[in-house]
Amino acid sequence: MNRKKRAQQIMQILDRLYPKAPILLKHKQDNHFTFLVAVLLSARATDKVVNKITPTLFELADTPEKMMKVPVKKIREIIKPIGLSPAKSKNIKALSQILVNQFKGKVPDSFAALESLPGVGHKTASVIMAQAFHHPAFPVDTHIHRLAKRWGLSNGKSVVQTERDLKKVFPKEKWKKLHLQMIFFGREYCKALKHKETDCPICSRFQT
């Protein structure tokens, strides 16, 4: 079975299991800044931990204008339970200043501009472009990278290659939803540890 046929079957399974795939990171509706900060904080941290912290952080400052005035020390105190909090607190402060000084306080809607911000890599930029601005993008984190390799959709050599491979086999209009569906599926059925192919609705289908 070629990759495109396999991808079609996988898409059908994911649509059946997760007809709706909501964003789990808490942020203020229609506030791209709070979403950007939440995504930045989620790197090497669970959504659950991030969601416990962001309400307090956004109550203090929910715009770059407000956040740039908050001392780094104060930001770090709030986000301390999250991994890499020293670096993340500095990045949140710095990107807030840049957004105000260079982008009129708005989160930019281009990969180049987003990736120029402190702490914002390609994966984070892809999430913002896809979920906030509805731009065709397929964010690939370590979990999606793992699933793509297990499912035979990519050789798994790098997240960059995995992103290219997934974009080739899935329709562009499905990328945004598939990114979230794969995250949900990976957490529920296709975990990194103690994974049993026979118990996985997708891996069991493609066992050789």
Q: 125 and 111 in contact (C-beta within 8 Å)?
A: yes
Q: Which helix (H) or strand (E) holds 21?
A: none
Whether 52 sits among the annotated catalytic residues: the reply is no
- Cα distance between residue 58 and residue 78, in whole Å: 10
Phi, psi of 2 (to 5 degrees): -75, 170
- Cα distance between residue 192 and residue 143, in whole Å: 8
Q: 181 and 10 in contact (C-beta within 8 Å)?
A: no
Which residue among the candidates 93, 123, 176, 177 is catalytic per the annotation? 123
The residue ranges of DSSP E strands in 16-91, in sequence order, are none
Which residue among the candidates 88, 93, 141, 176 is catalytic per the annotation? 141
Whether 123 sits among the annotated catalytic residues: the reply is yes
The catalytic residues are: 123, 141
